[in-house]
Structure 1
């Protein structure tokens, strides 16, 4: 784990004898190494060329992928938001580091005071901070933003981030206090992550007030570096850099946001973005398909040096991708059934014949990190698990089960024989050509997919499931329809991925917490509703040291893996990025990053292209 950093003594001031010190750096743990606010983030270039246009396509960092948009408000549950709006138009109180997300530096706020009991924190706003309409960012705007983002109709993806905050109070024009529900160490970082926007966004021309859910078609008034320049349709949008952007000289903004304009063109045809890239209509591509990367990123453009491709290393926890079960379905509520279905995935054959050996088999939810469960639980884990034993599978207390393999002779056949035995023990018996339960109801599974490349792999799983007597079918639907079905948990199984966090934390309740299981639009797609899981999530969030965090995370990973809420698929430890020579990456790659946010925030136009486009 990359160690968090704490405030250097030279960065701490005392306002009164009994007042808590004001900090300019927030960290997760007090025992981490000290550091000052850097002059610029270390993965930012010192003097990148500025200007030019960055042309992008479907926002692949989103889950699920968005192929069209109908909302300018990225925080609503309803609809699909315009691509990249949060990074381009909105800012948070503090800025996370991509080298260590347990560290935050000043952005809209310039200092913070944490109460000794950790039940509140007071943020002071930078008096220079301005919204796009020229008005100052005030504590009243911060409070209003919190109130909007912590209640419906905000998407649980955002409202869940701020669940640790009980209330926000404007103490004066530039000072806001957050009260926390509990003395959690990460609660103040959750407050630092608060997106802020102007109360004027909701004002009508006649002086009235829109409700938050009515802001889907109103251009945001926020403090970020870009404004909406034009919209051609629900598939095209152009952002223009605000010439009056207030924060360009902040340490956390130096070397960032180097393009004059950033444009998006969204495609519903999965093959169209690559073709657009090859002819020069798109500047950068992230490729998720091993076959595409191997076979189709070549040709005259690459040979001539007009197009480049590279695999950029990523560190930290690997993204968790798998075929998720919907545990709300009765047929999936028996763990033996879920284990049996997982045995139908012939990963070794798929990786060898379809992925050119480029992937690693995923095991759990914190792969490639010290937070991943391994072997039998140690003493620290057992201290957390023993009180929960009655609600946990027995295998939790043994060696963590590896994912089944099909290597060796008759490997798949062995796995399917094991699956048959599990299904029979769970009450499913083969009769009249199909597996049936005790009432005679056949076992059916619909695998939901958008038809953008996974179907050929899913058909292999379908074939193997049918060999078990399961009536498995692949259902291809438009991604927009799938998005709506996922919001309302209307599916049997589908492939999903969770973007990795460098440090496990608030995202866990959104993904695996019982409350989220019953909240439409949440990230708890599987419908995990386990008091034991809830208790371990709380242990992670309440961890008072790095050692305690590792133990709690391993225990949680162990339980989730044994509960078999998904069939783990595969992952890579690098990002496949191809780009046009009009643009260029910075000199240094951060440790962990959403690839498109990295391109938008830190890449730049090649000097001659920046100059030429400014002249046009």
Structure 2
């Protein structure tokens, strides 16, 4: 449901809505008689849910999981990896601060709750209305919604935002491709018309739109120069959200300050949240340097993605003294696929048997033991960690769906449960390598003078492209395994800018990529695996998939009529992706690892919040005094 490149909020495919009744936080409720179509038109609704159940009724005061009396104040210092050179979220390649802080600077039409799956309540919009066939949706803006300069948020801003983001961003272009028309339909109403009826998630994902200020982007900067929404800029943006950029040092740090007169502070979806007066992001290009800064109390928390670091690097005195606490927060809000991407735009990777041979060459179990202290599990699904992951053999509705593409998918989809090869000991590794060589021989490859050559006699060589030391470690572990089946393999480390440019233009043999998956997949699957995005620079289809069976199954996911149909269609899609061996699956961990200086408080975290940092936390003066002043 929106931005995976951070990821990502992912989208779903089943929608149900609840009519508005009563009032919310003093805002008059919209009656059905106010609908654009008149008293006989579709009802106005205060919430949208892809699953059908809405927890909070119209007129609710706050989410159950927040502390409405949370103290406001204090500073949170945040570690960000990489750098940044742009504050314009409409331009692809945005890094660092604006990617992480966009939802703090800009408000969306709706805001998601964190104790429900795929349910949204009004933020900029006070209500939504759509017909039973989901062919359009109207959002009505709140009268009091304001930009930080005091000007009202208008339908013209919403129209400008959608049209601009679709034009400038490949991701948004794919995400909102089914919105064929957006128009002002009332004083505060915006109508979105869709290309076909029946796509039940479209009213929902339109509500996730981050709204940009049209008057700002069509104006001039402090130097009198006309602003350009298609260009990068380090001018501090005008927003509407709870925070604004106070100051920054380009590429190094950004300081956000809480907007004291924020227009939406007392809305039910904002009560008890955004409690820090300041959020300071410091940027580091190296995770080891970032860790040393954290240990020196130059940052308040750090997210640890390295199993080795988590096991060995957190034995410094502040941990022993319990001034620093280690926390693992369960990841319940999304699934994932992470793997070595084999670029199908390269001729050598178009043979499924070669791709499968690469999977047989990958000894995950030994890597897990040597590099990760056996903390990880091997990924065996494109929807790993969710009920949407396929397993066993297809049956029931899933089997019926797969029958519609039977002539376009590998026969093993129907006959053999998908499993990854298992290594971890010399006998298993030798067996896997023999299976790899058998597949290569069947495909016409052979080894000459210890080098694998393709059917035309051309040597098979690959470059694994990486951008950081942790990825390099994994690539270097894989390299000798590929060389054992005769593949000439190199590992190349490049800086962030080079890496981004090469990925955007699909100029690579192998990379590691990650796709976050919501609990209710939908239109974003076209961006991930659809034929129409395979040649679109900057798209998330880094693999380059152009498969009519995959396209057909994506449509089954998007147009599922109920939850059972969605689950069946997603499992069918998962199974077909797996049996095409588009990636060599890597690994996952079911928790987010955090280390924190113990100077903060939080309410009981809801199921889908993960850490809840920073929005659900607050600065605790008593705790801070006990552990001592910051360095």
- Aligning the two structures, in what range does the TM-score lie when normalised by the shorter sequence? over 0.9
- Alignment correspondent of 1:549: 566
* Aligned-residue offset at 1:91: 1.4
Which whole-Å CA distance do the structure 1 matches of 2:80 and 2:560 have between them? 38
Q: Deviations over 1:311-342 (max 9, x none)?
A: 11122543221111111111111110110001
User: 3-state SS of the aligned residue for 1:390?
Assistant: helix
Which whole-Å CA distance do the structure 2 matches of 1:91 and 1:9 have between them? 21
- Alignment correspondent of 1:62: none
46-55 vs 125-134, which moves further: 46-55
TM-align CA RMSD? 2.4
Q: 1:116 to 1:454 in 2, by over 3 A?
A: closer
Q: Deviations over 1:520-576 (max 9, x none)?
A: 111111111111111111111111100110010000000111111111111111111
1:416 aligns with 2:430: no
User: 3-state SS of the aligned residue for 1:239?
Assistant: strand
- Alignment correspondent of 1:449: 466
* Aligned-residue offset at 1:17: 3.1
Q: 1:77 to 1:313 in 2, by over 3 A?
A: same
**What is the aligned counterpart of 1:71 among 72, 86, 95?**
86
324-333 vs 71-80, which moves further: 71-80
Which whole-Å CA distance do the structure 1 matches of 2:294 and 2:179 have between them? 44
- Alignment correspondent of 2:332: 315
1:224 aligns with 2:241: yes
* Aligned-residue offset at 1:382: 2.4
- Alignment correspondent of 1:48: 70
Structure 1: tracts of 5 or more residues without a match: 60-66
Which whole-Å CA distance do the structure 1 matches of 2:315 and 2:270 have between them? 35
**What is the aligned counterpart of 2:32 among 14, 17, 33?**
14
Which whole-Å CA distance do the structure 1 matches of 2:349 and 2:157 have between them? 46
**What is the aligned counterpart of 1:458 among 467, 475, 481?**
475
450-459 vs 1-10, which moves further: 1-10
43-52 vs 343-352, which moves further: 43-52
1:293 aligns with 2:336: no
130-139 vs 235-244, which moves further: 235-244
1:604 aligns with 2:604: no
User: 3-state SS of the aligned residue for 2:255?
Assistant: strand
Report how many aligned residue pairs link the two structures: 601
**What is the aligned counterpart of 1:199 among 214, 229, 245?**
214
Which whole-Å CA distance do the structure 1 matches of 2:133 and 2:335 have between them? 35
Contact between 1:235 and 1:265, CA under 8 Å: does it hold in 2? yes
Structure 2: tracts of 5 or more residues without a match: 1-11, 23-29
164-173 vs 95-104, which moves further: 95-104
Contact between 1:360 and 1:572, CA under 8 Å: does it hold in 2? yes
Q: 1:141 to 1:368 in 2, by over 3 A?
A: same
User: 3-state SS of the aligned residue for 1:150?
Assistant: helix
Contact between 1:8 and 1:36, CA under 8 Å: does it hold in 2? no
- Alignment correspondent of 2:184: 170
Q: 1:471 to 1:408 in 2, by over 3 A?
A: closer
Contact between 1:202 and 1:215, CA under 8 Å: does it hold in 2? no
* Aligned-residue offset at 1:203: 2.8
User: 3-state SS of the aligned residue for 1:104?
Assistant: strand
User: 3-state SS of the aligned residue for 1:44?
Assistant: coil
Which whole-Å CA distance do the structure 2 matches of 1:205 and 1:425 have between them? 64
Q: 1:594 to 1:219 in 2, by over 3 A?
A: farther
User: 3-state SS of the aligned residue for 1:499?
Assistant: strand
**What is the aligned counterpart of 1:327 among 318, 321, 344?**
344
* Aligned-residue offset at 1:214: 2.9
Q: 1:34 to 1:240 in 2, by over 3 A?
A: closer
* Aligned-residue offset at 1:391: 1.5
**What is the aligned counterpart of 2:578 among 549, 561, 571?**
561
* Aligned-residue offset at 1:465: 0.7
Write out aligned runs for 1:30-109 (5 A). Answer: 30=52, 32=53, 35-37=56-58, 38-58=60-80, 67-80=82-95, 82-83=97-98, 84-109=100-125
* Aligned-residue offset at 1:98: 2.8
Contact between 2:464 and 2:489, CA under 8 Å: does it hold in 1? yes
1:126 aligns with 2:147: no
Q: 1:75 to 1:591 in 2, by over 3 A?
A: farther
- Alignment correspondent of 1:63: none
Q: 1:81 to 1:575 in 2, by over 3 A?
A: closer
205-214 vs 511-520, which moves further: 205-214
Which whole-Å CA distance do the structure 2 matches of 1:208 and 1:232 have between them? 22
Contact between 1:5 and 1:103, CA under 8 Å: does it hold in 2? no
Contact between 1:70 and 1:82, CA under 8 Å: does it hold in 2? no
* Aligned-residue offset at 1:452: 2.2
454-463 vs 181-190, which moves further: 454-463
- Alignment correspondent of 1:64: none
Which whole-Å CA distance do the structure 2 matches of 1:405 and 1:274 have between them? 34
- Alignment correspondent of 2:27: none
* Aligned-residue offset at 1:303: 1.6
562-571 vs 471-480, which moves further: 471-480
Which whole-Å CA distance do the structure 2 matches of 1:297 and 1:611 have between them? 23
* Aligned-residue offset at 1:476: 1.4
Contact between 2:338 and 2:587, CA under 8 Å: does it hold in 1? yes
Which whole-Å CA distance do the structure 1 matches of 2:560 and 2:251 have between them? 44
- Alignment correspondent of 2:6: none
- Alignment correspondent of 2:7: none
1:181 aligns with 2:195: yes
Which whole-Å CA distance do the structure 1 matches of 2:593 and 2:97 have between them? 24
213-222 vs 115-124, which moves further: 213-222
**What is the aligned counterpart of 2:50 among 16, 25, 28?**
28
